Amino acid sequence: MNATKATSHSAGDAALGFYYQAFYALRTLLDHSHDDATVCVETLDDVVLRSSGQTLLTQLKHSLSADPAAVTLASRPLWRTLKAWIDVLPRLVLSATKFQLVTVAPLGEEPVLQALLDHEADRTELREALAKEAQRVVDEHGAALASGNPKPPHLDRVKACEAFLALPESTQTELLKRTSIMSGESCIVDLEVDIARRLTLFPDEYRSPLAQRLIAWWDLQVIHTLCNMREHSIARIEVQREIAHLAGEIEREELLPEFETLLPPPDHEADSMLVAQIALVGGDDLDIEVATREQWRACEQRHAWIENRLDMATRLAQYDTILREAWSDLHRRMARGCTSDDDDNKCRKGLDILRWSHDEAYKQVRPLAPNWNAPYYVRGSYQTLAMSLTVGWHPEFKKLLDKD
């Protein structure tokens, strides 16, 4: 049982670590100022940024721990990072490459490590301290092997220490000169908020939904790079284009209730078929007044949307279909249940359907847009559909009203 839990926990940590890489790569592009910038995930390093002829290799160390262990001269994450960079040195132009360790953990208190926080700081003492630590690890490991110890110390670091010591001193110096560390970084649960904060060109209410959609798109791009379904590099300009596209989608979905408090002009008259539909089920003057007002609002709103937005005609036609289906399910059930009823009972049940279209339909049919909550469009659209006999209230409305 314990082994199973440990394995599951390890797999979860690995998955979160990979997602952290993908999120961080996106944030890196958003932070970069040059349009030629590109990033790769899981190539030479966790994240590789290229821009203006320079390459930045970033090694990421993630943890959900509330108190992750500090990075010190003896830290396994530090030495594993150095080993990863040393391994790819033959494939790099060192003078055109920088290296960065990004960790959610804090930086230890050893003074020599503080040099990694300042790009301009001298790394001489740091190189000497790392070489001394590496030699200690190699010596203690070798001594234990020579004494027959089946479990010599420092198994998690000895290969990295040997690789560091094998470098010429000048290469050690140049590698560390081009290395920096970012400690105390956001963990994965905060990166979505971090990305949203960077979308400063958009209103605050757009940023969170925009970040969510951008991350979903980005995840797919990263997967495609790993599956060789696209180029491994993802360009900053691609991200900018997708942000513009997604922002346009959100804006198209954002609908304002422009006619919610407006009233029809004094000379506006109710449509004769609207009145006939209501009269057929015994509706009163108030039913006609409400239906006329809401139909006018919905009709004016519909005209305003179609005139100002090219996408709305199709969206509204699709929404009419949704309204018709909701009405049809209710109306057919009612009509089947009252085939043998007298006229008064048919009118009473039809009046219930009419008042459902006013009082309940807007609660039961999904809204036209995520932010839409004004009931008048559903109420008035049902009246507009009733005017063309597309919907109706009486169980036999078509037979009684369709003169053609």
Q: Over the range 31-51, which residues count as b (16 or more CB within 10 Å of their CB) and which as e? A: ebeeeebbbbbbebbbbbbbb
Whether residue 3 is predicted with pLDDT greater than 70 in this model: the reply is no
Q: For residues 139 and 7, which has the higher predicted lDDT (pLDDT)?
A: 139
Q: According to the model, what pLDDT value does residue 11 have?
A: 61
Q: How many residues does the chain have?
A: 404
What are the structure tokens assigned to 15, written together?
């998955």
pLDDT attached to residue 404: 52
Q: What is the pLDDT of residue 62?
A: 86
108: DSSP letter: P
More confidently predicted of 63 and 118: 118
Instruction: Band the pLDDT of 2: cuts 50, 70, 90.
Output: very low
What distance in Å separates the CA atoms of residue 184 and residue 172, rounded to the nearest whole number? Answer: 26
d(CA 380, CA 89): 70
User: Per residue in 217-270, pLDDT tens?
Assistant: 999 999 999 999 999 999 999 999 999 988 887 777 778 899 999 999 999 999
Half-sphere exposure of 88 (CA within 13 A, CB side): 21
Q: What's the average model confidence in pLDDT over 361-376?
A: 92
Considering Cα of 92, then 98, then 103, then 108, what sign does the dihedral take?
positive
Mean local confidence (pLDDT), 187-198: 88
Residue 79 Cα distances to 131, 144, 152, 171, 206, angstroms = 11, 20, 18, 16, 42
Give 9's pLDDT tier (boundaries 50, 70, 90). Answer: very low
Q: What is the pLDDT of residue 16?
A: 82
On whether the CB atoms of residues 350 and 394 are closer than 8 A, the answer is yes
pTM of the model: 0.65
Q: Determine the pLDDT at residue 204.
A: 84
Domain boundaries of the chain, sorted by first residue: 2-251, 272-401
Residue 341 φ then ψ, to 5°: -75, 160
Task: Please tell me the distance from the alpha carbon of residue 181 to that of residue 81, in angstroms, as a whole number.
Answer: 11
Per residue in 73-119, pLDDT (tens digit) is: 999 999 999 999 999 999 999 999 999 999 999 999 899 999 999 98
